[in-house]
Structure 1
């Protein structure tokens, strides 16, 4: 799988990594357990197997994103992906649409969840959290409060097949 992602500025990246570390310290699933250099807090803008490195969109990169509430996405029986929602404001919506315009025709129907109008932007904190561990995960995250606004540091293209990151913006 390939994706185009907003990455965070250094302070916001560190804040999310602190939340990941709080989950690790509580002996819970966390993206902080993945030591790959390409593992970074991000917001996925588009995803697909044949997704090319896009040209730089003509729309300005948002300076920041605003976090919403804690959400759960299904991850199999009795498990969830734990995320913080990202509020879609005008600047983020315009940039997201420009990215999709730049890669028109390359996002397959199997990943329509990144398409404009169907997108649920978020910052992932943990995958495959067991239902019985959700109260402990919420408690751990309260000890590592994220700021309401996260700074955006750029855009990257991630190729999961080759494990390579290409900066876009």
Structure 2
């Protein structure tokens, strides 16, 4: 399976701290956490689109369509579980309609986009055994938060490079 290239929205410094607090809470509880992922490019983000490849035209469309909306506030709306026997734990985001429309426009320009539609979220933990889900939910709690998405980046897994757009 090819590695997925991505266009991603990044929160500002305050938003990064909100997400990293959740990562730390899970880590401190002895549960899987994105904090355990030590890759240099691992940072809180919201994926706009992932595909086996992205070109300069895809980057240009994303910068033109999304750039005018940044910075934009999104509200943390709850916790969701994605996957099968092991799940990915995410915080869902309530995004303004203009942002949702813009992301769908960007996604429509990428014919090989992974997944249909767009589910705005930030990932807190991957490959969590289902037996650990109650502990994850207890650890995370139910606090609301607002994140300000302030920039757009391109992730190229083949080159191992992230680049601001």
Aligned residue number for residue 155 of structure 1:
152
TM-score by length of 1: 0.84
The alignment covers a number of residue pairs equal to 156
Task: For 2:5 and 2:92, locate their aligned partners in 1 and report how far apart those are by CA, in whole Å.
Answer: 21
Task: For 1:137 and 1:2, locate their aligned partners in 2 and report how far apart those are by CA, in whole Å.
Answer: 29
Deviation string 1:42-79 (CA, Å, 9 cap, x unpaired) is: 110011011124112145224211221110001x42x2
Task: For 1:146 and 1:160, locate their aligned partners in 2 and report how far apart those are by CA, in whole Å.
Answer: 33
Aligned residue number for residue 108 of structure 1:
112
Task: For 1:51 and 1:146, locate their aligned partners in 2 and report how far apart those are by CA, in whole Å.
Answer: 36
Q: Is the 8 A contact 1:8 1:150 kept in 2?
A: yes
Q: Which runs of 5+ in 2 are unaligned?
A: none
Q: CA deviation at 1:147?
A: 4.4
Q: Is the 8 A contact 1:8 1:152 kept in 2?
A: yes
- Residue 72 (str. 1) matches residue 81 (str. 2): yes
- Residue 131 (str. 1) matches residue 125 (str. 2): no
Q: Is the 8 A contact 2:65 2:106 kept in 1?
A: no
Q: Secondary structure at the residue paired with 1:18?
A: helix
Aligned residue number for residue 38 of structure 2:
35
TM-score by length of 2: 0.85
Task: For 1:8 and 1:97, locate their aligned partners in 2 and report how far apart those are by CA, in whole Å.
Answer: 19
Task: For 2:37 and 2:154, locate their aligned partners in 1 and report how far apart those are by CA, in whole Å.
Answer: 19
Cα RMSD, aligned residues only: 1.8
